Structure 1
Amino acid sequence: MSRYEKLVVDTTDLYNAYTAPEEARDRARDAWYRTFAMSGLTSLAGELDKDHRQDDGRWVLGWIVGEDEYYYYVIYDPSEHKVVTEKHQKAVKQDSGGSAS
């Protein structure tokens, strides 16, 4: 397990039954981002403004590329009251496409 995957955020106290689902997701994303910022981990790239619902009820809040050059998806699981970081495939470096003259 990578250091990124060990980054799990408990969201139990961030919302209650009266909180709108969109607000709960925003709070979960913000809590994950604060924890990530304090962790000392860094990201080579990323996008944290996604809200893609999966078939299992979890939400992809965004993704980052870790220092190890793997993609990590930031997943919010409302039924488990947590945000986890899941490792996925290795990122492919893009060629700049430019040539020196």
Structure 2
Amino acid sequence: MTTLYHNPRCSKSRQTLQVLKDANEEVTIVEYLKEVPTIDELKKILKMLDIPARKLVRTNEAVWKENYKGKDLTEEQLIEAMINNPKLIERPIAIKNGKAVIGRPPENVLNL
């Protein structure tokens, strides 16, 4: 069973879901824009991805450019920014057996 943090409006997210379906993988979909992860959940995801929060931020989003760009934010502040503005969370994120990958490219999910 794979959990997919998914945005159905994102082509990469849709492609990643299709890769999982094509591999006959059972998928639990979390539409993270509607079901925003908690701070603790996001910290767990970052730990599974083994990356700092900054690497999970979508810096081309308008909300980033308008509110955060150029600021020296701590890890906690970056996590709070993503929780308060879930559009900033890079997508899609697939999780399985305590490991996580970002589906960029979508085939990355096959590494789980």
Tell me if TM exceeds 0.5: no
Q: Of Structure 1 and Structure 2, which has the larger fraction of its residues in helix?
A: 2
Q: Of Structure 1 and Structure 2, which has the larger fraction of its residues in strand?
A: 1
- Structure number with greater CO (CA < 8 Å, separation at least 6) is 2
Larger radius of gyration between Structure 1 and Structure 2 = 1
- TM-score, reference length from structure 2: 0.31
